[in-house]
Amino acid sequence: MQSERMSIPSVFSLPILVLLAALSLATNIPRPVRAGNGGQSPQQGWRLAQPITYENLTIFPVVSAQDPDTSTFTTLDQALASGDVVITEQGNYLGRTREALPLPLPQTGLQVNQLVLINRGKRQLMLLAGEVVSGGKQDRMIGKDRIVPGGAAPLPLDVFCVEHGRWTGESANFSAAKLMVHPSVRAKAAVEQNQIEVWAAVRGDSQSTLGGTAGGAGGIIGSAPSALPAPINGRVLDSVIALSAPTQAYAKIYKSSPIGASVETFAQEVDRRFHRANSVTGREHVVGVVVAYGGEVTWSDVFASSQLFDAYWPKLLRSYVVEALTRTATRETVSLMDARDFLRPATGYTREESDPGIYRWSERSEGRIAEIELQALAPKPIALHWLRVLRAN
């Protein structure tokens, strides 16, 4: 009996040692960033609806039965229009609160890649990489997804220039351009974080960040050739820049009559088909899209709520259309299975930045895939925006 009693501890010691060793190893393994709904991946609540296709663009609606209240957040366009948010060049020292009290700004001089943002409203401001603001010395686009709380101190805001050549302006403040740069340019900011590549992508003289090549010279395929929008290629861009936007201003380029008419014609038809296909969704709500060009899925924007998606949809749609018009025409299409696979969470290396108590930004890379999530931490944790990009080889 004594020998049996002595053997009991030894029987349990081996599993305990194995467990301790496993726990020790686990602490050295990079942990995935927590999802915005308390540890559950937001993708688990998403479903893809049937796609709509027009020319070389296919859009898969992402729907969800959950539609949380996101009214405590405001968008850049809404906040600038209401006056709740002011964006100005660094070195301009005066802003005013609602009570008309002077609000000093940092005296650091004018900088191309940094502005000053003041959120004097009550709601949290949501910023997405690729949103364009016009004015100041040059037009700029937001460099990274982030959240700015209401009433916060003046914030140094990282941006990229999307107007190469101008450094003058009558007003120091910026207004909403109501534009989102197209994915090839947006990825250069959100993923590559490279100003030189941003300028090259705006002009269209670099290979697309997404799969495929920008500046396709072929016509767009369709059943009614006489009504087709004209493709945006290198020759068209050069002509528009020379005549309408010599400083390569993004807003002027894509609102010019040769290009703007093509973008609007294309966007209106896609929007009509999109709303007709999603006019009846039962208890589900459209919260995002997966985007494909030709036979390749390359992009997705998904939001926490249908309210946020609806706010961003008009300028997101036009950004997808500009990308479609820069690509070579093709009759290839993608399958629902391809789009579903694109929503699968990446499992690679994770990089994370945060503003404690306000938001967490994370980027996960896996092969050609880059995945970015913006998570609000207040008033409760929620994944506000999820972006996925297929990068070039």
Q: Tens digits of per-residue pLDDT, 191-223?
A: 887 777 876 777 665 444 465 544 443 333 333
Torsions phi, psi for 134 (to 5 deg) = -110, 145
Tell me which of 108-112, 143-147, 246-250, 252-256 is least confident.
108-112
Confidence tier at 26 by pLDDT (50, 70, 90): very low
**Residue range 249-264: average pLDDT?**
74
Which has the minimum average pLDDT: 30-39, 64-73, 165-174, 247-256?
Answer: 30-39
At 131 the pLDDT is 95
pLDDT (tens digit, 9 = 90+) per residue, 311-321? Answer: 999 999 999 99
Tell me whether residue 247 is exposed, middle or buried, using C-beta atoms within 10 angstroms of its C-beta: 0 to 12, 13 to 18, 19 or more: middle
CA distance 150 to 120: 6
**Domain spans, the chain:** 42-390
Strands 124-127 and 73-75, how do they pair? parallel
Does a cis peptide bond (omega within 30 degrees of 0) precede residue 61?
Answer: no
- Residue 273 is inside which H or E element, if any? helix 257-277
Of 25-29, 188-192, 265-269, 294-298, the range with the lowest mean pLDDT is 25-29
Integer Cα distance of 214 and 225 in angstroms: 22
Sheet strands (E) in 247-318 = 285-293, 296-303
Instruction: Compute the average pLDDT of residues 374-380.
Output: 95
- Which residues have a Cβ under 8 Å from the Cβ of 186 and sit 6 or more positions away? 129, 130, 141, 180, 319
E-assigned strand segments in 206-358 = 285-293, 296-303, 349-355
Per-residue pLDDT at 84 exceeds 90: yes
- Model confidence at 333, in pLDDT bands (50, 70, 90)? confident
Strand segments, DSSP code E, in the chain are: 46-48, 52-54, 57-64, 73-75, 85-89, 94-96, 102-104, 114-119, 124-127, 131-135, 140-142, 146-148, 155-161, 174-180, 285-293, 296-303, 349-355, 359-366, 369-376, 382-390
Q: Which helix (H) or strand (E) holds 320?
A: helix 306-325
pLDDT at 90: 80
pLDDT of residue 143: 92
Tokens of 80: 């600038």
Chain position carrying tokens 């004594």: 2
What's the CA dihedral at 230, 238, 264, 59 to 10 degrees? 80
Task: For residue 88, give the amino acid letter.
Answer: T
What is the pLDDT at residue 370?
93
Strand stretches in 21-108, DSSP E: 46-48, 52-54, 57-64, 73-75, 85-89, 94-96, 102-104
Number of H helices, E strands in the chain: 9, 20
